[in-house]
Structure 1
Amino acid sequence: MSLSTRRAQPEDAALLLAMSRAFHDEDGSPLDAAATATIAHVAAGEPLAPAYLLEENGAAIGFFILTLGYSVENGGTDGFIDDIYLIPAARGRGLGQKAVGLAIEQAKAIGIRVLLLEVEAQNARAYHLYRKMGFADTKRRLLRRILVDGN
């Protein structure tokens, strides 16, 4: 079981979109038109949101997207694992932990000092995996406000 990662290329857009749709459908938050367009933009090489394919023996079995920010509190460049996904056939074999490890390695390689992520409240399995991988509760609530309607 050899898991590797590579930066997504424009020709990977359809694959990235298909996996992203599957991820969001499973999550109960299907992609809207704006999010669909954003995935194509990310695959084209958006510098603030590098996307990576996860491959097992050369076959794509998942992906993750890192988004970059800057934080005084975090001492500079911080990042967010915006999405991380493994296809159902790849689950239950320890690849989730390896995928998170690869995301951490890529984050370090591009200069991210602090890496953040969010996990659905009901996803205890993922929560425990992230805790095992060194992520800690921030004791804060993540809030959002949409500034531009993308539809």
Structure 2
Amino acid sequence: MTEGNFKIAEKSDTETLVEFIQEFYEFEQLKFDESIVRTALANILHDDSLGRVWLIQHGDEAIGYVVLTFGYSLEFRGRDAFIDELYIRESYRGQGVGMSVIQFIETVCPSLGIQALHLEVEQKNTAAQNLYRKVGFKDHDRYLMTKWIAN
């Protein structure tokens, strides 16, 4: 398999998405709080100004998801976007699905007025880093720093 197809996520996809998010957070060793995830997911599914969520499908089977969130940057000439989460079930990795996801997102960005596309990848996830470099993402030699404002 070298391609996935994409379905814009709807409220009816919440259970599938929460399952994928939990798998992704376990894989990345992130804290998973289902109530917080459900609230954040409901917000983005309800408000297109925040971003978009797609299910990645192989035929009619959902095999992952991708979340694109919107921002704005003077440095990056206006509206920018962040591939906030990208998850593909393990049995489908290494088959070109990730490449097709990035290509899909790149084709969607112009219609959304996106000038620049960003993503974050774990330092230990060298396979993902290699994919992202291969499709043109560059390391800015900067650190992503975060300060939680809300509890």
- Give the TM-score of the pair, scaled to structure 1: 0.91
Say which SS state the counterpart of residue 138 (structure 1) adopts: coil
Partner of 2:142: 140
Aligned to 1:102: 104
The CA deviation string for residues 68-97 of structure 1, in whole angstroms up to 9 with x for no partner, is 001111100000000001011211212111
Matched, 1:74 2:83: no
The aligned counterpart of 1:64 is: 66
Task: State the number of aligned residues.
Answer: 149
Report whether the alignment pairs 1:35 with 2:17. no
- Name the counterpart of 1:21: 22
Separation in 1 of the partners of 2:59 and 2:140? 36
> Is 1:119 the counterpart of 2:129 in the alignment?
no
CA distance in 2, matches of 1:49, 1:21: 20
Task: Choose the corresponding residue for 1:50, options 40, 49, 52.
Answer: 52
Aligned to 1:128: 130
Q: Taking every aligned residue pair, what percent have the same amino acid on both sides?
A: 31
**C-alpha contact (below 8 Å) 2:8/2:54 kept by paired residues:** yes
Q: More deviation in 28-37 or 16-25?
A: 28-37
Partner-residue secondary structure (3-state), 2:129: helix
Aligned residues of 1:79 and 1:115 also touching (Cα < 8 A): yes
Contact 1:9 1:45 in 2 (8 A): no
User: Which ranges in structure 2 are unaligned for 5 or more consecutive residues?
Assistant: none
TM-score by length of 2: 0.91
Shift of 1:112: 0.9
Corresponding residue for residue 11 of structure 2: 10
Which consecutive residues of structure 1, in runs of 5 or more, have no partner in the other structure? none
Distance 2:104 2:112 in 1: 12
